Chains A and B, each alone.
Chain A
């Protein structure tokens, strides 16, 4: 209804904002912040305010006044947001603080609920089925593809943010824009890098972290013999496991599907090489524990000084610093070793989706947009201590990424980010294959003794069921 009325003024405004965004790119982040505040983002904003604040945005103080007016929109009721328990408690606290701030300002009771990462998906499905539950869900990877019809169209906020803040990373676009419609606002990326104990590596004659998987194998053997193994999960868990094994597959030239997103391509000599290599690594570098590990296990094992290296977010480093662990200064980070095809990375990303069943959609949209604005977003990034990488490119200048030289590597990994299901386009099928952990299990099954060829053939059959459900 009001959407239709709104439609007419919205288009020219967006055009204007594009230009404003270009102008803002030359300005400092602070100025961009003003522009951001000056933008009336709510659907309830009248066209009059839109024109007024639009023309002033980013240039005069009137923009700020308009911002004051536009943030006291008529919201009420409650808002519930479901997210994972992040690995950096300080970031969760800042997020909650922001939620409170927004809630007070807008007269809405905001509740943030954090549950273990592996629980978020079942809870999401249960909520969608029940047509009730959290108003906003912080989703992983490309879940918006799985739950497309249950999510609110976020075009307006998405496009505004995109124009104002230098755009989203391409793989994030792929994950959130479903069949042409943005269904979620990418919040951040949680990249992985290898965290390792410098002294233990020195003991086996390695001055730095291996650059290739062959070197990884050599060093890994020695470390295992020295009882300081490098370990990485092969279990069914949301972050670390796909982060390792999709990347490993791609780095060896393997892929689950062709560019058309239909022809299953897992059964290839490249995949075979990758699986065989993984088996060798499992047998010579790892221990069987990795099959049962979830995302927390490597953090625990590392902090218990049982392992010398693991692929993880910055959380191990941050926690050991916070707890003043005796080995905190012995840690360093390194980028994932390269395979024959260079480097690739499945990046765990978080994206905020507003649920269609929500009774408070407008408030939810406003909140999701509000936390992306510089005043909030920069603070949240800083609280996370470089654990999370921004989703919008103009936040690159946040000082948190340059403050600690030990953490700069995480930002580098972004350039290798790929969508699940690469090189096919993002799709529901790719998401399904991901949710069933098919790629991870292919490696794990071979590690547990299944002939690599058979493990690949099984995976091929499963992938075919997903990508070509009607072909018998």
Chain B
């Protein structure tokens, strides 16, 4: 990833001309992108620290600043809404579905990348195709399946349905990863009499850890962000995940409640942002591997 980059030595002319060019063709557009891409987050943050009075009545003040910062919007979330419960649900569901998918994905990815058997390539294509089946295509019949297994309104409704898009993804990404690991080590182990499982477990898996990590982060963020299934397969307040909880229970009828909603949106984004901040390199590697290299 981090090889030498092609440095563009744009026409050098005078030093002054270079500067001007740099400002107009680099910093101005860069700043534009940054402002547009990041403003909504600034707006979420600033809204969440304002009082209701400042948000809805004080119409003269500059809305980009806070005049009397407060934590009341956050306190409301913890004291008067089920936010903590939603947070917990989201964590449990994300971790469980990620673990399940990663396990299945590692095994399947290994089989497809390393082992020769009839139908391997067709199967690889099949799994790839399921990766591209959007949730919106199947949510109605899936509802019947969820009912059939009596999973409606339980965390398992999501823990078992999220893998439908996580497994193909993990498998695909890890297939690429396993292919890039040299086979000699495993072959040597097999020659020494190790079983295939041992060869996979002791030799290939440790080498694939970076790939597993990036698949894991991806799967985690994808399940954290999922909305449609959570909207349809969950019903009671105590079972909801953060995205569904926010859209269905924080909007008040009698008055706007954007302060609380933005506070919840911030808190709901922090875990994924942190997960990703620590592992940004893996994430980017995964992004390009998963989507690009295939």
Contacts and interface: CB of A to CB of B under 8 A. Distances in A.
The short answer to whether A and B are in direct contact, CB under 8 Å, is yes
Interface of A: 80, 82, 84-89, 111, 113-117, 119, 123, 126-127, 129-134, 295-296, 299-300, 303-304, 315, 318-319, 323
B138 to A, nearest CB: 14
25 contacts: A84-B253, A85-B251, A85-B253, A86-B253, A88-B254, A89-B252, A111-B238, A116-B251, A117-B253, A126-B143, A126-B235, A127-B235, A130-B146, A130-B152, A131-B152, A133-B153, A133-B235, A133-B236, A296-B251, A296-B252, A296-B256, A299-B253, A303-B255, A318-B254, A319-B254
A155 B133 CA distance: 47
Contact of B236 (A113, A117, A131): A113
A319 B235 contact: no
Given A123-B235, A133-B235, A134-B235, A85 B56 contact: no
Interface in B220-241: 232-233, 235-238
Given A126-B232, A131-B147, A132-B152, A300 B251 contact: no
B187 interface: no
Nearest to A306: B59
Interface of B: 56, 59, 143-144, 146-147, 150, 152-153, 232-233, 235-238, 248-249, 251-256
B186 to A, nearest CB: 46
Contact of A315 (B59, B143, B248, B253): B253
B253 A113 contact: no
Nearest to B238: A111
Given A131-B147, A295-B253, A299-B253, 17 more contacts: A86-B253, A89-B252, A89-B254, A111-B237, A113-B236, A115-B248, A116-B251, A129-B143, A132-B147, A133-B152, A296-B251, A299-B255, A300-B255, A300-B256, A303-B56, A315-B254, A319-B255
Contacts of A132: 147, 150, 152-153, 235
Contacts of B254: 87-89, 299, 315, 318-319
Given A299-B255, A300-B255, A315-B253, A116 B56 contact: no
Nearest to A132: B152
A117 B249 CA distance: 11
A86 to B, nearest CB: 6
A80 to B, nearest CB: 6
A130 B253 contact: no
Contact of B253 (A116, A123, A127): A116
A399 B158 CA distance: 49
